[in-house]
């Protein structure tokens, strides 16, 4: 089978499109012929050697995608050949064939296309737990969303507004601000706008995926407000003094998707709730940008440039 691989860590030029041995479905697994593969920043970090990576060289990136079942492993009874299936946390996805455990297989409803399933699961499920579990949005809550035009930010904005909350977004350009406002953000500020001073004490909850902005995020939340920290795209946060939390009764909480996808049943329940929000129009998904898997270098370059505003898919 063909796959996008690399043998040493580095820039996008280390990526190669080559033949490797076919994936095979083992016991309790199904084999998918891939139709769409999600590209994420974690793939950039893994390519550079900054993030955990399965196996040895030649390394195969990718943890998210969708495809059609073409073979069943031993003891598999709840899937059949031809079923459409997506996944969000199975390695070695940048290939024509991927073997996935049935416990991590997510059936795709008829109303959802493979490209949409591969576009929304990681970012949509993240946005869902942020708005419903890390901090449960209530009617009238004012939420500050970092990187509001990014994949998670777009989903989070729409979920918050569907729950009756109001979104103030942060982003890096007027073009990205327009995208966020179209999706329901009431106001969008640029990172260059002195946003922390403008919003001091006005916010109920901040969703901070930047990290280096953590103390500025705390400045914006009201007394008894909450900061949800779930990413470090801008660098590590500074240590937080618990006395600051005590003095203003503020809360700091963290978030990680894998704390919530704890069983096959939970994975399917959360995924299908997300799919239903899409199929009923509560969430709009921007058309993904598609690259051939063989053109993976160009896809990596675009994502790494931070000029993309929608999901990037690799198509075998």
Domains of the chain, by residue range, sit at 2-120+260-315, 139-254
Maximal CA-CA distance, the chain: 60
Count of residues making up the chain: 316
Q: Is the pLDDT of residue 123 over 90?
A: yes
Same fold, 2-120+260-315 and 139-254: no
Report the pLDDT value the prediction gives residue 309, as an integer from 0 to 100. Answer: 74
pLDDT band for 313, please (50, 70, 90 cuts). Answer: very high
Q: Is the pLDDT of residue 159 over 90?
A: yes
Rg, the chain, Cα only = 20
By CB atoms closer than 10 A (0-12, 13-18, 19+), residue 203 is buried
For the chain, give the mean pLDDT. Answer: 95
Predicted TM-score of the model (pTM): 0.92
- 2-120+260-315, what's its fold? Quinone Oxidoreductase; Chain A, domain 1 (3.90.180)
Q: How far does CA 281 lie from the centroid of its chain?
A: 20
- 139-254, what's its fold? Rossmann fold (3.40.50)
Assign 3-state DSSP to the chain and report helix, strand, coil percentages, each to 5: 35, 25, 40
| Mean pLDDT confidence for 57-68 | 96
∠ Cα 28 31 33 (to 5°):
160
Q: What is the pLDDT of residues 27-57, one digit of tens each?
A: 999 999 999 999 998 899 899 998 888 888 9
């Amino acid at each position: 089978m063909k796959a996008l691989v690399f043998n040493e860590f580095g820039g996008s030029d280390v990526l190669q499109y080559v033949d490797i041995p076919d994936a095979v479905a083992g016991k309790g697994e199904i084999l998918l012929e891939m139709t769409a593969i999600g590209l994420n920043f974690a793939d950039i970090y893994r390519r550079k050697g900054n993030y955990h990576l399965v196996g040895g060289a030649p390394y195969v990136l990718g943890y998210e995608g969708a495809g059609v079942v073409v073979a069943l492993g031993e003891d598999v009874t709840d899937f059949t050949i031809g079923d459409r299936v997506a996944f969000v946390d199975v390695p070695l996805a940048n290939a024509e064939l991927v073997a996935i455990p049935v416990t991590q297989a997510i059936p795709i409803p008829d109303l959802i296309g493979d490209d949409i399933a591969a576009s929304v699961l990681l970012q949509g499920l993240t946005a869902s737990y942020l708005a419903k579990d890390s901090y449960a949005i209530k009617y009238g809550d004012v939420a500050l969303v970092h990187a509001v035009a990014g994949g998670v930010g777009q989903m989070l904005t729409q979920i918050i507004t569907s729950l009756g909350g109001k979104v103030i977004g942060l982003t890096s350009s007027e073009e990205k601000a327009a995208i966020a406002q179209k999706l329901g953000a009431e106001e969008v500020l640029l990172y260059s706008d002195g946003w922390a001073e403008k919003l001091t004490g006005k916010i109920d909850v901040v969703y901070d995926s930047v990290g280096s902005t953590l103390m500025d995020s705390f400045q914006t939340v009201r007394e008894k407000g909450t900061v949800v920290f779930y990413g470090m795209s801008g660098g590590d946060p500074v240590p937080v003094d618990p006395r600051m939390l005590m003095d203003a009764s503020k809360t700091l909480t963290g978030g990680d998707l894998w704390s919530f996808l704890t069983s096959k049943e939970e994975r399917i329940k959360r995924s299908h709730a997300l799919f239903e929000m899409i199929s009923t129009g509560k969430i709009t998904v921007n058309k993904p940008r598609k690259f051939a898997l063989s053109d993976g270098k160009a896809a990596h370059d675009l994502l790494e440039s931070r000029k993309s505003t929608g999901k990037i898919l690799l198509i075998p």
